Structure 1
Amino acid sequence: MTHRLKIAVIGGGSSYTPELIEGFIRNYPSFPVTEIVLADIEQGKQKLSIVGQLAQRMIEKSGLPITVRLTLDRRSALEGASYVLTQLRVGLLEARGWDESIPLRYGYLGQETTGAGGMMKALRTIPVLLAICKDMEELCPDAWLLNFTNPAGMVTEAILKHSRIRSIGLCNSPIAAYKWLSGLYGVPIDRIACEFVGLNHLHWISRIEVDGVSKLDEILGGGEAYSASNVPQFAWNERLIRSLGAIPSYYLKYFYLHREMLAEQQEAHGKGENRAETVKRLEEELFEVYRDPELSHKPKQLEQRGGAYYSEAAVHLMNSLHNDAGDIQTLNVANGDTLPFLPADACIEANCKVTAAGPVVQPVTTVPAAAVGLIQAVKTYERLAIEAAVTGSRDTALLALASHPLIDSVNRAEQMLDELLIQNRAYLPQFFQTTP
């Protein structure tokens, strides 16, 4: 009897889903999925229908015995699932627009995973993910939950602390770095080895080898670094890169080049532009392409989205868990004793050996000395933000902001927080409960 391998995708109407389907098709010989259920909410019904029909055409063209089902019933999707993928956006792109625009009015960065905007996304998202986990504990308690809903590190840490579900966080930044290096040296990814140290969206690459030969000094000396389409393309300060002795994630530009990044955002905001509007236009174009009844493959335009390769990383991880592969992947997992300056239950982004029993964090050989304090400060903020999301405490939310390295006035931060909470009221019931 063939083992049933059911995949539940929560947020199945996402524009990333065709990449996910492509991955399942390509990996079918070693990861023979039998059923894929794409689940979404009522507001995402139209997108789910469009992308779901494309997914069905892709499977039909492949000739593989995989069933693709669409549903607005989350519990139906979860029942009996082997793997659950979460790729959702609570509040949709409208809420992302608030995250990006409101902080700017107070002189602070407006970004969906960093600073005040990132905290608001966490406050909206963590309770929803924990509710999904509660359903999973009843309907598929042995399933793996693979989360690439941002802020991925914070969401994953909340799940690890407040749920019994086995969960791993994913980000596209590490795979994007490998693809950058692959292009730079003209070699396949499997001939490249990197060491990632830090947190989600706050990591440094402290080791780079091609065919076992170190290339880090060569790259540092050339001022090279990888980036992404959703982050402004400011060049790194070459002296900083050499002094760090590591390649920083492009999200670290929000810290190391804060004035420049903030000025760029404020200028765009003055013109009525923000990333949420850009993504909205990109998605409208993508879904228009997806509507084509003749289309039965992942379109090239999908790579223009800032989260390109998320789904590729997710299928790779599932395949490795399923086959006890023992390969090395960069994941968001519990720290344990990997970084001794962080709590054991803190979520870090690090290299892991992937086994059927789960990821095993690999020892870190190099931690940039100048990175330790920043990692600790951001982790303090993250842990307070997680507590605020779970408890609905405004005091804890303000303390989280006051602990963030990019917040320089608690009084101004308090005014900003009050406006953000009111604007997000529909998605933050935990902050508006009345005491009897």
Structure 2
Amino acid sequence: MKLAILGGGGFRVPLVYGALLGDRAEGRVTDVVLHDLDAARLDAVTRVLAEQAAGVPDAPAVTATTDLDEALRGADFVFSAIRVGGLEGRAADERVALAEGVLGQETVGAGGIAYGLRTVPVAVDIARRVARLAPDAWVINFTNPAGLVTEAMSRHLGNRVIGICDSPVGLGRRVARVLGGNPDEAFIDYVGLNHLGWLRGLRIGGRDELPRLLADPALLGSFEEGRLFGTDWLQSLGSIPNEYLHYYYFNREAVRAYQEAEQTRGAFLRDQQARFYAEMRRTDAPALKTWDATRAEREATYMAENREVAGAGERAEQDLESGGYEQVALALMRAVARDERATLILNVRNGTTLSALDAEAVIEVPCSVDANGAHPMAVSPLPGDATGLVCAVKAVEREVLAAADSGSSATAVKAFALHPLVDSVAVARRLVDGYREVHPGLAYLR
């Protein structure tokens, strides 16, 4: 099978390739094509993959290209992990928003809207090309904002595009371990939108163990989300929120921490990765070792500002493990290609799953996956507070899609102004002006 990785010069590509190296079953991926607009980044990542594959029999062959159509032709799966505007664009998103006193995080609030406005047109072009050049391919979307981008692509690819994220899986695995269960055997009852969801139950051996966790403050405060949100708030909610909900529940504190930080997250990653790719221009640089050291620093500093707000301290060693989006992607490909049925938390069209949203809305829920794709599982309704937040953010996503389709700056202003974390129409107007000034890719907004 052929896998095309879009954003193939991206820093996290070796995680995906590493997962493929561990797949020895019949029908596995045999050919990987990396696509990126930056040939130097492609060369750096290709070197890392070559060292990963050293000594591994029958490792998937790797080729690289800057020609998108060439990468897509004949693909069985397309993994999309592009970053329109690069990390410089992410840093600019943060800078413009924070200057207006609102959040600039890449998937939440003003920063997420700005990122979506410049990413959706590119994602739609990719979807159209896939439909033309590889109509039987399945698209696995990891491009942020993942739910919004998946919904944009689904208008052209239907259910053949599926979004993935490691946040819900990482949360579920941490909770399962705290409860003494096997994370690989626990069922995670999780519902919401991408980066806006709640773990409402965790069944081990058919029994929901979440009430036991919520009733034990010491146990509840022993893992990352407990330290981040505080045990009292989690007990009040009666659920465990995705870590990104910290930006909503503690917004003033998060904005202040970002404003006072020596460097925003996007600026840190921009500089860190610039050092990595610069080092990789040296032909004698140990590619895999250099990449691994950079990745370890990246994981250790994740959401540092939020942990500072909560007084949560440094990340505990057991919390450094992500949900393993590369393993989710591999499990998804296996289930579709081999009809190996799996249950995974994915971003898919709602259908009738959440009655508060329409059928085309992309949501993040447990899905049963087989050769026919991903099928959202029935879930109980969200409580009123969560329903209100989900509906408000989905309405914003729809305005972003409408602005990207029409090029209307007035619609873009509406998207910003309707977001729960942007508190003024005047601020929304200044945000649109500010983002157009720093992002040439937003010149289409008139």
TM-score in terms of structure 1 length: 0.90
Contact 1:141 1:165 in 2 (8 A): no
- Equivalent residue in structure 2 for 1:350, among 365, 369, 384: 365
- The answer to whether 1:333 aligns with 2:326 is no
- The answer to whether 1:78 aligns with 2:93 is no
Other-structure match for 1:431:
445
Separation in structure 2 between the aligned mates of residue 10 and residue 32 of structure 1, nearest angstrom: 19
Contact 2:146 2:165 in 1 (8 A): yes
Residues 30-53 of structure 1: CA deviation (Å, up to 9, x unaligned): 542121000100xx2212101112
Amino acid at match of 2:270: K
Residues 133-168 of structure 1: CA deviation (Å, up to 9, x unaligned): 111122101100100010000001111124457200
**Structure 1 residues not aligned, in runs of 5+:** none
Residues 213-251 of structure 1: CA deviation (Å, up to 9, x unaligned): 3221222232348658xxxx9731433311221111111
- Equivalent residue in structure 2 for 1:91, among 80, 85, 92: 85
Residues 41-67 of structure 1: CA deviation (Å, up to 9, x unaligned): 0xx221210111221332342121521
Separation in structure 2 between the aligned mates of residue 246 and residue 61 of structure 1, nearest angstrom: 46
Separation in structure 2 between the aligned mates of residue 308 and residue 279 of structure 1, nearest angstrom: 20
Per mean C-alpha deviation after superposition, the further-off stretch among 26-35 and 379-388 is 26-35
- The answer to whether 1:260 aligns with 2:274 is no
Other-structure match for 1:13:
9
**Equivalent residue runs for 1:245-394 within 5 Å:** 245-268=238-261, 271=262, 273-284=263-274, 286-287=276-277, 288=279, 299=292, 301-303=294-296, 304-305=298-299, 309-365=324-380, 367-394=382-409
Amino acid at match of 1:427: G
Amino acid at match of 2:251: H
- The answer to whether 1:125 aligns with 2:119 is yes
Separation in structure 1 between the aligned mates of residue 227 and residue 442 of structure 2, nearest angstrom: 35
Per mean C-alpha deviation after superposition, the further-off stretch among 145-154 and 412-421 is 412-421
Contact 1:198 1:350 in 2 (8 A): yes
Amino acid at match of 2:16: L
Deviation at 1:76, TM superposition (A): 0.6
- Equivalent residue in structure 1 for 2:39, among 19, 42, 45: 45
- Equivalent residue in structure 2 for 1:114, among 108, 115, 119: 108
Amino acid at match of 1:283: Q
In the comparison of the two structures, how many residue pairs are matched? 418
RMSD: 2.3
Per mean C-alpha deviation after superposition, the further-off stretch among 326-335 and 54-63 is 54-63
SS of residue matched to 1:188: coil
- The answer to whether 1:413 aligns with 2:428 is yes
Per mean C-alpha deviation after superposition, the further-off stretch among 165-174 and 343-352 is 165-174
Amino acid at match of 1:117: G
- Equivalent residue in structure 2 for 1:173, among 149, 161, 167: 167
- The answer to whether 1:62 aligns with 2:56 is yes
Other-structure match for 2:307:
none
Distance 1:176 1:258, change over 3 A: same
Q: Percent identity?
A: 35
Amino acid at match of 2:22: R
Separation in structure 1 between the aligned mates of residue 248 and residue 59 of structure 2, nearest angstrom: 48
TM-score in terms of structure 2 length: 0.88
